[in-house]
Amino acid sequence: MVSTAAYGTWPSPIDAALAASHDGRPEFVGDVGDEVWWTEPRPSEGGRRALVRRRADGTTASVLPAPWNARSRVIEYGGRPWAGAPREEGGPLVVFVHHPDQRLYAYAPDGPDEPWPLSPVSDIGGGLRWVDPQLHLDRGAHGEVWCVLEDFTGESPTDVRRVIAAVPLDGSAAGDRSAVRELSGDRHRFVTGPKLSHDGRRAAWIAWDHPQMPWDGTVVMVAEVTEDGSFTGERPIVGDIDESVVQVEWDRDGSLLFVSDVGGWWELQRIRPDAVAGAVVPSSRLCSGRGEEFGGPLWKIGLHWFRLLDSGLIAVIHGRGTTRLGVLDPETGELVDVAGPWTAWAETLAVQDTRVIGIAASPHSSYEVVELDTATGHTRTLGPPHRDAVDPAYYPEPQIRTFTGPGGREIHAHVHPPRHPAVTGPGDELPPYVIWAHGGPTGRDPVALDLEIAYFTSRGIGVADVNYGGSTGYGRLYRERLREQWGVVDVEDCAAVALGLAEEGSADRERLAIRGGSAGGWTAAASLTGTDVYACGAIIYPILDLEGWATGETHDFESRYLESLVGPLAEVPERYRERSPINRTDRLTVPFVLLQGLDDPICPPVQCERFLAALEGRGVPHAYITFEGESHGFRRADTVRRALEAELSLYAQTFGIDRTDIPRLELKK
């Protein structure tokens, strides 16, 4: 029997603690001999990232015991933090970045020793940081690991240089910086890890400079590798300030495969470095003209959207809005997709013989490590396998929707109506809805099971993920709608979805809310101070003051991001002032909760503090909750639980919902 109860009051087995325990996803899958390794979140262990191995016999174990934490801070968003290789004796060797000190460590998990440091420390600014390690056991006297080195030269977040460097595996550089060999010059502000050609004679990597972000313009650099392992003859061969190349790999014939958006979509292409003037081989046989993305934004260093198999086939992640895993024949252009329920594939792939390993999720399953055998077409889950923590009838059923925005433009969204197996809402009542604005803003909300969404929908509160103009997954033109329009297009698109749901009779017009973190926090705050659409909002580690953020209140990677999102500060200072929520607090009239990590170097708490000071005395109900030890993005189970309960309490109080199963959020004026 299905009972009737007011929306928002429904009982649910998905409490905040359960949702928090499933926060995060596996990342950075790789092969180590006949084993598969990846990193995995541990919310209950202080939010550390564990390194996990799946042995050939199918058993799974953690490589590193707590408190070892495999996570890099290069460009603050990090990237691939580990590399492993089999050895003839002593079992595999792994090199990883330990998050607390950002040093490189080596470890033989089958041996008796503890991890030993490979890289030196520096007390200048942010010190020395490393990402995207690649093991070369046969180079140097004792083997080397090649990485991206982020080297701080002063106390400012922008006093930094990045180069490709080689670190000896014998630990001799741990106390002697001169033992670190810098391979590339520092002609570029940002670089990815080098890819060594199959004959060992060349290296290729991606580079870019301010004010470009990697989804705006990058170049592929190639250098000759000498017998002593030095780089010489560095030169760009493809890419530009208005062409984004996000991955490059060597093929066995000496050509380079790369993903570029020169045609308006991130597509797979081929180039031969010896071709006259670096001419690009026509890409019609690789995947062009499909109107799909075969790449994505390079928010982290060491991401992979494609991998080459020994057979010559290419495993690719592709799609429009959603993503699929496919196998591409570069000779015929034939692309065959993997059968299965997955609608979201993470930007990481590994290959073993005929097998492809990736990380994928669906509307009914969380992210899990998946293997495809291209020889048989069979797939299987390697781990961590999805297990339903509750009856799947409590999961939302996402609707992939397209709404109409100002000027008739399309807006993509995933709508999650309230869903409960035993309760429905009254016939004369419409459900409240929360608009979710994703971060980035150059990002996208995937179609994947998220217990934080289910936390709300199973209680009778709808959620709509809005992939507003500027989001990835829909081509470069859609992505560039946000150019100099941040705080305008994103706000308008979120409002158009919210009002569209109300106008069609799916949502209660008087009970609409907005929430977002990071750039989504900006959109939430800009919406609350710039529209009258929402009754309340949750603002999470946000940007609130554009002028402050553009003049030293963030890290180097995004320090000039606003030049494309808003415009150059020197040319349009009034735009920075007019759009900033901190300068529009007089328009803020509805309740909100502000959630902030105190160790956040990207969106620092000082912005929240100034915002609240500007709001003081206005009588707007609000709560400000800070979290010690949390950075940009909450990782600890207790933090995620408290944040979810605070958010739900805000909605309950604002929407007139009676809930006694969560702590009451104290709103002050």
Q: Name the least confident of 268-277, 409-418, 538-547.
A: 268-277
Q: What is the pLDDT of residue 90?
A: 83
Q: Could you tell me the CA-to-CA distances from 661 to 49, 368, 469 in Å, in that order?
A: 31, 31, 38
Can you tell me the distance from the alpha carbon of 213 to that of 608, in angstroms, rounded to the nearest whole number? Answer: 26
Q: Name the least confident of 328-342, 356-370, 425-439, 498-512.
A: 328-342
End-to-end CA distance of the chain: 44
Please provide the average confidence, as pLDDT, over all residues in the chain. Answer: 95
Is the pLDDT confidence value at 478 over 70?
yes
Instruction: Categorize the per-residue pLDDT at 79 as very low, low, confident or very high, splitting at 50, 70 and 90.
Output: very high
- pTM greater than 0.85 (yes/no): yes
- Laid out side by side, the sheet with 344-352 consists of 344-352, 355-362, 365-373, 379-383
Q: Which CATH superfamily is domain 3-15+390-655 in?
A: Alpha/Beta hydrolase fold, catalytic domain (3.40.50.1820)
Is the pLDDT confidence value at 383 over 90?
no
Q: What is the pLDDT of residue 384?
A: 87
Q: What is the pLDDT of residue 280?
A: 52
Q: Are 98 and 68 in contact, with CB atoms under 8 Å apart?
A: yes
User: Around Cβ 289, how many Cβ atoms within 10 Å?
Assistant: 11
Which one-letter amino acid corresponds to residue 471? S
Angle between helices 489-503 and 519-528 (to 10 degrees): 70
Is the pLDDT confidence value at 606 over 80?
yes
Is beta strand 536-542 parallel, antiparallel or unpaired with respect to 592-597? parallel
Is beta strand 512-518 parallel, antiparallel or unpaired with respect to 433-437? parallel
Which residue reads 């005395």 in tokens?
Answer: 617
pLDDT digits (tens, 9 = 90+) for 131-173: 999 999 998 788 999 999 999 999 999 999 999 999 999 999 9
Q: What is the pLDDT of residue 283?
A: 43
Instruction: Categorize the per-residue pLDDT at 446 as very low, low, confident or very high, splitting at 50, 70 and 90.
Output: very high
Q: What is the mean pLDDT of residues 467-483?
A: 97
Is the pLDDT confidence value at 278 over 60?
no
Cβ burial of 434 (10 Å; 0-12, 13-18, 19+) is buried
Q: Helix/strand/coil (H, E, C) string of 238-266?
A: EEECCECEEEEEECCCCCEEEEECCCCCC
Q: What is the mean pLDDT of residues 502-511?
A: 98
Q: What is the dihedral of CA 297, 300, 302, 305, to 10 degrees?
A: -30
3-state secondary structure of 494: helix
Q: Are 416 and 379 in contact, with CB atoms under 8 Å apart?
A: no
Q: What is the pLDDT of residue 209?
A: 98
Is the pLDDT confidence value at 275 over 60?
no
Domain map of the chain by residue range?
3-15+390-655, 28-182
Q: Are 260 and 266 in contact, with CB atoms under 8 Å apart?
A: yes
- Residues near 380 by beta carbon (within 8 Å), at least 6 away in sequence: 370, 371
Is the pLDDT confidence value at 282 over 90?
no
Is the pLDDT confidence value at 421 over 60?
yes
Q: Report the share of the chain in percent with pLDDT over 90.
A: 93
Q: What is the mean pLDDT of residues 525-534?
A: 98
Cβ burial of 2 (10 Å; 0-12, 13-18, 19+) is exposed
Q: Are 49 and 78 in contact, with CB atoms under 8 Å apart?
A: no
Q: What is the pLDDT of residue 109?
A: 94
Q: What is the pLDDT of residue 272?
A: 85
Is the pLDDT confidence value at 29 over 90?
yes
Q: What is the pLDDT of residue 31?
A: 96
- Region of residue 581 (left: phi > 0; alpha: psi -120 to 50; beta: else): alpha
Q: What is the mean pLDDT of residues 94-115?
A: 95
- Residues near 219 by beta carbon (within 8 Å), at least 6 away in sequence: 188, 206, 207, 208, 236, 237, 238, 239, 240, 245
Question: Could you tell me the two tokens for 643?
Answer: 């944040």
Is the pLDDT confidence value at 281 over 70?
no
Between residues 414 and 385, the one the model is more confident about: 414
pLDDT digits (tens, 9 = 90+) for 284-328: 457 778 899 999 999 999 999 999 999 999 999 999 999 999 999
Q: Are 195 and 245 in contact, with CB atoms under 8 Å apart?
A: no
Can you tell me the distance from the alpha carbon of 623 to that of 611, in angstroms, rounded to the nearest whole number? Answer: 13
